[in-house]
Amino acid sequence: MSNAFVALVVIALMLMAVLSWSQVSFGWVDSSIQSWKETMKTAQEVSRTDIAVTGANVTAPYVEVLTRNSGKVHLAQFEDWDVLVQYYGGNSTYYIGSLAYTTDAAPSSDEWTVATIYTDDTRTQEEVFEPGVLNPGELMLMRLRLNPQPGGNTTNLVAISSPNGVATSAQFQG
């Protein structure tokens, strides 16, 4: 009789262990599936996103960069964009920097802002639908202020990355 009682206790402990292990396993599988879904969602968004610099010019005291949303995703959250610049100053010193975003119309040193968003290539029609959002097909005029200013007769580079990691770059003349 005592052997039967011990056997029942051992079987009960084994069942509890199996149930605990299966609960942990199912939780791990569920979190893995959720992570996979998030990864796929991000990958789909990235595959539908495309930006391209269509022009970059020095218009003292700024560098003005025209960027087109040529993808299918509406882009905003400009504070999460990355703007990197590699350029030569007036004294031929090479500079590399990351610019901070500002909502001010006139950015300070080493800052950038969205000056205007246009709905057409002629840059005559400013956006009306969803102001502050770079919709597919629209052009964004970015205004960058570099300190020191780019030197004359220099070839420089600006690189732009959206929050989901899609990037573009272009050269501009100082």
Residue 7 has pLDDT above 70, yes or no: yes
Query: Largest Cα–Cα distance in the chain?
Result: 99
pLDDT in tens, 13-44: 888 888 788 888 888 888 888 988 888 887 88
CA nearest neighbour of 140 among 63, 72, 52, 61: 52
C-alpha span between 132 and 115 (Å, rounded): 10
b/e string for 114-146 if b means 16 or more Cβ within 10 A? bbebbbeeeeeeebeeeeebbbeebbbbbbbbb
Give the model's pLDDT for residue 1.
65
Residue 65 has pLDDT above 80, yes or no: yes
Give the model's pLDDT for residue 86.
97
* Topology annotation, domain 51-173: Immunoglobulin-like (2.60.40)
> 117: which residues sit within 8 A by CB, 6+ positions away?
126, 127, 131, 132, 133, 134, 138, 139, 140, 141
Give the model's pLDDT for residue 17.
81
Instruction: Say what percent of the chain tops pLDDT 70.
Output: 99
Residue 6 has pLDDT above 90, yes or no: no
pLDDT in tens, 70-83: 999 999 999 999 99
The pLDDT of 134-151, averaged and rounded, is 96
| Token pair recorded at residue 174 | 């100082």
Give the model's pLDDT for residue 150.
95
User: Is the distance from CB of 121 to CB of 139 less than 8 angstroms?
Assistant: yes
142 membership: H or E segment, kind and range? strand 139-145
pLDDT in tens, 90-125: 888 999 999 999 999 999 999 999 999 999 888 888
Rg over alpha carbons for the chain, rounded to the nearest Å, is 27
Sheet holding 94-101, edge to edge: 51-59, 62-69, 139-145, 111-118, 94-101, 82-88, 155-161, 167-173
In this prediction the pTM is 0.78
Name residue 157's beta-bridge partners.
86, 171
So where are the chain's domains? 1-47, 51-173
User: Is the distance from CB of 149 to CB of 90 less than 8 angstroms?
Assistant: yes
Amino acid at 52: A
